Amino acid sequence: MIREALIALMLVTPAVADDNPVTQADELLRKTFPADKPGAAVAIVHKGTNVLLQGYGLADLDTKTPITGDTAFDLASVSKQFTSTAVLLLVERGRLNLDDPVVRWVPDFPAGDAITLRHLLTHTSGLPDYIGIFKGSDEEFARLTCHDIAGMLRGKKALFPPGTKFQYSNTNYALLPVVVERASGKTFAQFLRDYVFVPLGMDSTRVMDRVPYDVANRASGYGRQFLVGKHVPSRRDGPVCGDGNVFSTARDMIAWNAALEERRLLRPETWEQAWTKTPIAEGKQSDYGFGWVVSEKEGRKAVWHNGGWAGTRTLIFRRLSDKLTVIVLSNDEGANVDKVGTDVMKLFYPPEKK
């Protein structure tokens, strides 16, 4: 899930706010996520300090369980940054090459050898989105695995020659767990647990690659009933991962952000590669790196990703030039987490008056 319009207000020239932006952010969030409705866990990290970790609203409407910093949410497409990290770890270890044809690692891949791992990571493969191709029931979706995705592509035409355009497609990242498994000899869930989550102390974070899900402190997801706006349960679980299905907490995401700030797990130059725009045809660039959207304005740089799935909306926004990170994990399918992130960012760095 990507919304390109998020960035404009988040990269404005910094100014100094008169009042405490943390207090202002807390007040804003309490108004945005009322205490008796589905809400969000929010974390703000500024210049290396965790200035806010707070839950707003309810994790479950029936039990009236409040959201806390330890409530677990489906990260949806924010999961893609963990998938790209797994691939890049294997690249650094010499087990993979970014220019490997996908068919080398996914033998039943039907699209030939022109599409590479780099194309998958940067959404420049031209592969159609499997979610749009899939026509089965929710029960059938719950049995669909990453290993089934290649078969779904048989008979489907590429949308464009690989490397010539950017088009966001969950298929790209749903194929990468198969690559990680074949290159590492571990399941995708085991690989991320052993080489990312455990080393970083992300004790509540895991890949859900099988149903039913067993997630401690999981927030129940809610949609909004058409017209009346009533919240109703919304959940569509399935074992496909890579494009989503990492469950985490705001507290664990603070640990993840610290690793990114300190350039841990990967070499600094590898992180920079992940946070660099992708060249495409005719000298143009897409704003997508490896699992991150990359934005630059007035000499300032940010990397971010949002996510949305049944009953969840998520955002991580990292303003690199000012070391400000905003993380929003919501169990309200209708929550505008992009606007929340923008509004919080503006409290710390208001736009200059013209």
Hey, which residues are catalytic here? 77
- Distance between CA 66 and CA 338 in Å, rounded? 22
8 Å CB contact between 194 and 154: no
- Distance between CA 149 and CA 120 in Å, rounded? 13
- Distance between CA 216 and CA 67 in Å, rounded? 13
8 Å CB contact between 122 and 289: yes
Strands 300-309 and 312-319, how do they pair? Answer: antiparallel
Among the listed residues 168, 205, 195, the one whose alpha carbon sits nearest the alpha carbon of residue 74: 205
Token duo for residue 81: 């940054």
- Distance between CA 301 and CA 328 in Å, rounded? 20
8 Å CB contact between 305 and 312: no
Q: Which amino acid is at 7?
A: I
Strands of the chain (E only): list them: 40-46, 49-56, 58-60, 65-66, 73-74, 206-207, 222-224, 231-233, 246-248, 278-279, 285-286, 293-297, 300-309, 312-319, 324-330
Token duo for residue 179: 């690559």
